[in-house]
Every structure is written in C-alpha cells, then in structure tokens.
Amino acid sequence: QVQLVESGGGLVQAGGSLRLSCAASGRTFASSMGWFRQAPGKAREFVAGLSWSSGTTYSADSVRGRFTISRDIAKNTMFLQMNSLKPEDTAVYYCAARYARDYTERPNDYAYWGQGTQVTVSS
C-alpha cells in the first residue's frame, strides 16, 4: 500500500513558478510514480514520471524544459518544480504510484492516487 498527499498548488501569474510536493508513505522503494493533471472538461494527462529506485525520469513534451520531476528518498517525497508557467498549465495536479519499476503515461496503470492540488495560472 502507498498513501500519497500532494501540496504546493496555488495561483500564480504567467511566467511564474510553483513547486508541488507529494509525500508518500508505504512501500515506495518498489514503485514508479508520476504526476498527472486534469483541466476542466479534459482527460487526465501525463506530465512526468519517475522510477523511485533508479531515479530515472521522463517528462511530457508539453512541459519538457519547464517542469522538473525529482525525489527525496530520505523524506519519501516526490516533487514537481514548475517554471515558466502558462495559462494552459491550469489544472488539478495529481501524483500517482504503481508497484512496477517503470513509469507509464497511462493513468489506468496507476493504482494509488493523491487527492490532487489546484494550480491556476493567470494571464
């Protein structure tokens, strides 16, 4: 079992930055984790993924170069540093985990989800 709690969302102007945190409890060492987001009326989409044991990361094309996913093993916490934010980044952001070495971009592959945190970028 993995329990996930996100924090760090908020309202920011375009061009600004936010850092999201996902505190995990449980068996994170055997997990891969990811950040997803869902805007109103749209499907949940993959943002970035991370293999907990190796630290290997991957980001979606839409955020690559602006967002950075990372982890702090000692704190059992995953982060999403978001820079150069755009209004189209506005969404509820979720962290997710699965018991597999490699992350995927498919939300249905993840069994564990946080409650979500709202990110709003004003123009």
pLDDT by residue for the chain (123 residues), tens only, comes to 889 999 999 999 999 999 999 999 887 767 899 999 999 999 999 999 999 888 899 999 999 999 999 999 999 999 999 999 999 999 999 999 999 888 899 999 999 999 999 999 999
| DSSP element (H, E) containing 6 | strand 2-7
Say what the pLDDT of residue 69 is.
97
State residue 13's pLDDT score.
Answer: 98
Which of 72, 92, 74 has the alpha carbon at shortest distance from 9? 92
